[in-house]
Structure 1
Amino acid sequence: MAKHFADSNEVLEAQPKHLSPDDTTESDDIETASSNQEIDEKDEGIDEKDAEQASQPYSTETAIQSIERYKIDTSVLPRIDGKGFPAGNDGAPVGDAFIDATTAMDTAAAAETATPAASGADTSATAEAPAGAEATTLITPPEALKPAGPTKKRKLWLIPVVLLAVLATVYLGGVIVFHFIFMPNTTVYGIDYSLKPVSSLAASIESDTASYSGHITGAGIDVKLSAADINLTYDGTGYANDALSQENVWAWPAEIFKSRELKPTGTASYDHDKLKEILSGVIKENEEAASGQDHSGITFNSSTGKFTMSDQAIAMRILPDKADQEIGDALNSLTKDITLDNKVIQSSENIEAAISAANAYVAAAPKLKLGDNDAGAITADQVAGWTSFDENLNVNLNEQAIRDYVHGDLSKQLDSKGTARTYTRPDGKEITTVAGGHYGWVIDGDKTADALINAIKSGAVQPTVDVPCLQSAVTYDPGKQDWGKRYIDVDISEQHARLYDESGSIIWEADVVTGIPDGRHNTPEGVWDITSHIRGARLLGPNDESGRPGWDTKVDFWLGVKGQDTGFHNAPWRGAFGGQIYKTGGSHGCINLSYDNAQKLFELAKDGDPVVIHE
């Protein structure tokens, strides 16, 4: 660059200021040689000066000196003051204007030195200058054309790149590590395996397998089983890998702060033939034990109230292949207590259906009702006794057994007619009657049996059966008072009778004379009821040897108690009642009253009122 400026200066000095275009052209060749020699001589001195200036800081003074040195026409350059480059007239920075100006000067100089052939311009027109004007060439100062040095830029972008690289390394390292060890806060079926090698889980399950001891129950069997019995082994590696697969190692930065319970599964291997041999031995033993059982081994358990198949009957029906499969599934998790279900039993569906039908019968054991009174219930054990199974496991209900029960035990339980009762009279006297009288419950056996059979077969859960009756009472209280508060109490020992109303209050009472206690004329004891009201009744005694009635007496009021044999009536032939008259001068069995008392009782008493006669 310095040499270029020097050559330009020499050219300017060598040319006259006022030459015609012709003169300029002719002198070019003559002067060129001498000019080249002078340029070479000066080149060396100018280079040294340029180097000295290049080493100094660029300033406004330096720019001015360069202009003066190279005789640059400053009229075409921006004005320069001593402080720097002010803004140009168009507002652009002086630096930019200066560079544009110098670039224009370089272009002009190149145009002037170009040959006509190269430029393609008219030479005469190019060489001619305006009159009175000096021919001037503008040359860019060497300092302005000095190439700028390299700019140092801060490489801040390297920081995040380095951080990302470190994080990626740590992350991938964690992924690799947690492919071989378990993450923190990890348990396997409750056992802590935090930060333990995956291989330790494999070793543990294989060790547990070697020492395995199991207990097989259900399906009627109870068998102990060890690993040695069936050559049991385990795929520990597969088990551990399954546990590892349940961890999300790719998300380990977040997962290490969480807790997890792993539940891996694996596969056990064993000798199936040895296991089936053990099962076959159990089946044979139970076949021998079940050979004498009834109902195909189905029995009723009173404590649970259900039918079940006996253990021996179940075990003899075990299917070894199905049992082997179920036991194998349990061995995969090394389950020590293995319970077989009914799926391993031959014809289990038929057995379950039979047991279900029988249990439905048992569940339908009906409740009993006498009128508005609860009268107990048929028990599950009773229904179980009426239930049987044939060889095809069909369920049968013994209907005849039910009818026999109704006419027998159930009648004794529910019928109260003619039975002894113990009760407490309203005045506090405790009384026990003899077994006699016709008042009380009498069920209809045939209709009751039909009702029970239908209820048991209905499938309903403990339905209620209204027991059909031939005769009813007020309440049901076996062996005790089954009549209401309204009744007539005849106390033979007191020779006194009382009529109680519905509230238990006495509304009538009187002394009486009962039958002579000689065994032939006794007033019949027990619980009876009023059967009739008759005015002007005619009393006839038993016929004598001649066929005539033993007596023939007319009374005003008759209330029958034992049909037409015994009743309440007035006795006009008596002048006294009560006391001990009955023992020697008593009646033939009737209850004698005075006219007034007989009339009042006749009016107050109702047919059906219970009459309790006792000592």
Structure 2
Amino acid sequence: MTDNDYRDEQGGVLPQPMSEQTLQRLAENRERREEQRIARAAKRRRRKIIVLLAALVVLAVAVYSGGVAHFSGHFMNKTSLGSVDISGKTTAEVQALLDDTTASYSLTISDYGFETSIQAADINFSLDQNCTAEALIAKRNPFIWPYEMMFVRDLAEYLQVTYDEQALFALLQVAVDEHNQHAEPPKEESIVFDQETKTFAYSGPIAGTHLIYEQVLIKTQDALANLRSVLELGDDCVVQPAAGGNEAQLTAAAKQANRLCDQYHITFMLGDSASLVVDSAQAAQWITIDEEYSVSLDQGKIDSWIDSICALLNSKGGERTYLRPDGKEVTVSGGSYGWAADRDATAKLIRDAIAQKPKQNVYIPCAVVGNGFLGLPGADWGKRYIDVDISEQYARFYDDDGNLIWETDVITGTRWTDFETPSGVNTIQYKASPKSLRSTGTYTIYNDDGTVTIEEDHVFGRDVEYWMPFINDFIGLHDAWWQDSFGGSLYEDASHGSGGCINLPSDKAAELYDLVRVGDVVVTHW
């Protein structure tokens, strides 16, 4: 190769080609420089990571140290004392809480219609002197606070409460005993009569509301130990019924009872004004089931029912206990109203009819006929009547369908005197408007100076616009235009109480006068 081989067309010199060795050295140099660059970059990254890690370690140490310092005097998150959250509180705050708890603590216990409250003072409730906030905070290790923070802790388990156990036993026993007096006992599996469908059906075991004192005590002591403010007792605190297992036999007995009750629809006519019906619902009250699940009517129950009916058919002046339409149970005796029938003959007639199940009506002869007969539990009058409740100082009038159509506050005879309104069942004798209720008699005045003044031929009473007597022509319902107000305890004051009559507001007396009929029953009672 000559020099001319490395010149261009114009005679310029061209670069000479490098040898393979040169090219290889150049490539190796480039690789070495790249490796050095990468190494320097990696070294810089390592320095940054080391610096970052060092910073994180310093920060972690600072946070950890701060946590140790903080949780040495503050309760950790997720920490409670019974039902009270004490997360983040200082020992001073928790100590104040403990002190307040001792003074104001109360526990309300309830379930199954039972409710009672136990106050700290009732049982001398207090915390053990060693149960301090400092002692409680020591139960969680501040040096492992990151680990401790993972768990929910209730420190109430470390509290040691003290109280007068005998006082607790006595309080709880009285409360449970009072509840159990009216509690529902458990019901074994049986057949039950449905008043709506008028049929018997199987009913499985049903727990009642009768409490087990020992179980209530155990749960109460646990609640006190854990400073709980509310305790719901649960199923294990009530008497449970025996296990079932006789559903098939009792279902068959229910069907047999339904067939037996369906045979009864006997109507007893009481004069022309009332009737008494023995239907499936009444027969259901007499059903009995023996140990072999055989169904029959209990003759003893039938006889008892007949005796009660016969007593009502000879009830004049006697004691009756009945349910007023608003649900109040009332017992009343006295008065001139009542039925009269031959007791023995009536009992035989009813007993024979129940045995024979006649299709036609059965007539019961009555010497004296009332104006209605609701029957048991004790009303020998109809749905239409006037009810005067002396204890409530309130009167109500129910119509032929038993609907309340009139009511008012009243003032009855002066209490604790000879002028008290008599209790009893009577009827409206007649109606008069207007009416003079004046009479004359001896009036004794006891003067302030101790002397006594006697007025002969003193005029008693006033003229009224509406008069509706129900005890002879002496005691009745009437307007009392001179009274400023009615109801309450006014009848206890001689200046307001009447001489035995039922004082009514004038407008209410006018309403009643238009509604009432001669012969309507008036029941006055406490």
User: Is the pair's TM-score, using the shorter chain for normalization, greater than 0.5?
Assistant: no
Greater share of helix residues, 1 or 2?
A: 1
Q: What TM-score do you get using the length of structure 2 for normalisation?
A: 0.35
- With CA pairs under 8 Å and 6+ residues apart, which has the higher RCO, 1 or 2? 2
> Which structure has the larger Rg over C-alpha atoms?
1
Q: What TM-score do you get using the length of structure 1 for normalisation?
A: 0.31
